Amino acid sequence: MNEHLGWGAVSAGVTFLARKKERNETATLEEVAGQCILGAIGGALPDLAEPADSPRHRKSAHSATSLVLIAKLIQTANENQQLSQVQKDSWTSLGVGYSSHVIADSTTPAGIPLI
């Protein structure tokens, strides 16, 4: 799981910095650190839902379908006018972290299920 925490943190941090640049905003160290933490949490979620020692490991929470659902969650959050930009960035970081876990698992010999 440790590598998933790292991939989640890095992918969320890079995504956050790209989004800030796109908005012509400067990111603070605290903001980046917070988004990296959220990404690490997101990166841990699939294994919290389906632990490696469980017979259900790499089922629905590790599926290609989960990537579609996470993408929809990110899109919905970013289109929600009632959420602040911080909340939108936070949902994005969680989702990107989660997605990094599933994408990383897809590159292993066991792969990931479609559904």
What pLDDT shows up at residue 54? 82
Residue 32 lies in a domain: yes
Q: What is the pLDDT of residue 52?
A: 85
Asked whether residue 62 is domain-assigned, the answer is: yes
Residues in CB range of 98: below 8 A, 6 or more apart: 8, 42, 43, 45, 46, 66, 70
Cβ–Cβ under 8 Å, residues 98 and 42 = yes
pLDDT of residue 45: 97
Q: Which domain holds residue 78?
A: 2-106
pLDDT at 1 over 90: no
Cβ atoms of 97 and 11 within 8 Å: the answer is yes
pLDDT above 70: percentage of residues in the chain:
99
Task: Flag whether 113 is in a domain.
Answer: no
Q: What's CA 73's distance to the chain center, in Å?
A: 11
- CA–CA separation, 31 and 39 (whole Å): 12
- In which residue are the tokens 């841990």 written? 44
- Residue 56 placed within a domain: yes
Containing H/E element for 69?
Answer: helix 64-79
**pLDDT tier at 56, thresholds 50, 70, 90:** confident
Q: Average pLDDT in the 58-85 region?
A: 97
Report the share of the chain in percent with pLDDT over 90: 90
Residue 86 inside a domain? The answer is: yes
Q: Is residue 111 part of a domain?
A: no
What total of structural domains would you count in the chain?
Answer: 1
Distance CA 36, CA 28 (A): 12
pLDDT of residue 57: 86
